[in-house]
Amino acid sequence: MLRRQIGRKFESLRKAAGLTMEQAAEHLDRARATLHRIENGAEHVRFRQADVQQMLDLYGASDDDREVLLALTAATRENKNWWHDYIGAGLPRWFQLYIGLEAAASSIRQYEAELVPGLLQTRAYAEQVFKMPGGAIDAADEQEQQRGVQLRVERQTLLTRFSPPQLSVIINEAVLRRPVGNAAIMAEQLHQIAKAAELPNVTVQVLTFSAGLHAGAMAGAFSLLEFPQDTHGREVEPPVAYLDAATGAIYLDKPHETAAYNTIWADMASRTLNESRSKSLIEQVAKEYSRA
């Protein structure tokens, strides 16, 4: 989040100075790709004070902008997020941005068609997921799998932290019906979902097979994240729609992109069971697994 704010401020200053990214890179004797990473908030960019001052000089930054950006970039050299230890072992770099956004979000909405959302998975269920080939983590590397599982478990603490985000989940009925591991794992997992839904900041609703065709059928799984407002009522970060795949992810933050996913969400939300009926169905399927 911090780096994305820095990137937007540098981009705004560059444009105000009437410079293209290519022109700025030439004046700074830096690669265009480096400036692109800075303006997009890439996690691995290092902000040396001399480099920051050079950019501020080139862009003709005001004293206020200079003070703010020197302080923000200094913070990137001092702070280390808890998930950094998982980079390269359980946490692909392309997913690292999502972890940061998730931790900063005030509202998270997720639709899942195939699997229980990561924030609601039990350890046993997550272990089964990470064993599957074709994912971001090598299915043959048991140690890396366990680090991935531990990361998933640690992420879940944000639901019970002070000032947690509002989590709204829509899951396809197939998520409940498709066994992952054995019946005991599924029973435990469904009980975990029902328990999480009792938290005041968590809602879980089921999109049943009887709902028929819905907008999410074409969109696939996605997350919509919204962020807190500053003291002036302005968003500190624009909303983001997130879609992931086996080898990468897509982050969409243009207004027309997030609006499209809001429309998809609204269509699905109009077709789901309400919270009470969803919980009843989840508990019913959990009992079926328990008797299996």
Could you count the other beta carbons within 10 Å of the beta carbon of residue 130?
22
27 contact partners, CB below 8 Å, separation of at least 6: 19, 58
Question: What global pTM score does this model have?
Answer: 0.78
Residue 247 backbone dihedrals phi, psi, to 5 degrees: -125, 10
> Can you tell me the mean pLDDT for 239-258?
89
Q: What is the pLDDT of residue 118?
A: 95
- Quick one: pLDDT band at residue 83, thresholds 50, 70, 90? low
Residues with Cβ within 8 Å of 101's Cβ and at least 6 positions away in sequence, in order, are 1, 225, 227, 237, 240, 242
Per-domain residue ranges of the chain: 2-78, 85-291
- Asked if residues 110 and 170 have their Cβ atoms less than 8 Å apart, the reply is yes
Dig out the tokens for 123 from the structure. Answer: 């350890």
What is the tens place of the pLDDT at every residue in 213-231? Answer: 999 999 999 999 998 877 7
Which fold does the domain 85-291 belong to in CATH? Endonuclease; Chain A (3.30.870)
At residue 87, the pLDDT reads 60
For domain 2-78, the question of CATH label 1.10.260.40 is answered with yes
- pLDDT at position 182, please? 95
* pLDDT tens digit sequence for 127-173: 999 888 766 666 567 888 888 899 899 999 999 999 999 999 999 99
Q: Which amino acid is at 145?
A: Q
Q: State residue 91's pLDDT score.
A: 65
